[in-house]
Structure 1
Amino acid sequence: MSLLKTYTNLSPKAKLAFGVGLVSWGFLGLTFGDKIESKLGFTPTEADKAELDKIAPKIHVVERKS
């Protein structure tokens, strides 16, 4: 059975609980994510930030003639 079919077969109360749970999980992740990362030692170093800046896409604005 597909995941969508399983979800559509849930009762409305179960769908509401599932939705509230997903929103809560996202809110908690956004609120406490940085604190948890620092406690677990996953904070990025300056070398990591430099590496990310190197591979990040750059935007160059080119003016067009009108």
Structure 2
Amino acid sequence: MEVTPNAFTVDGFCSAYGVGRSLLYEEIRAGRISVRKAGRRTLIRKEDAQAWLDNLPEMKPAKEVA
């Protein structure tokens, strides 16, 4: 039976979402992503990670120049 964790570590989140640790800590400080602490470990619930992703601004396609 495969167990799927319900939370990311900082390194796991950064790897999964392709962001650096500095950006993640900036997002945490700004209150844009919620984290939990388990002793010294910082954990990001998968639901919170998805909410963060969903709230990122959408990139609009560039207008075509004729």
Per the normalisation by structure 1, the TM-score is: 0.34
Rg larger in 1 or in 2? 1
Greater share of strand: 2
The structure whose RCO (Cα within 8 Å, separation 6+) is larger is 2
Greater share of helix: 1
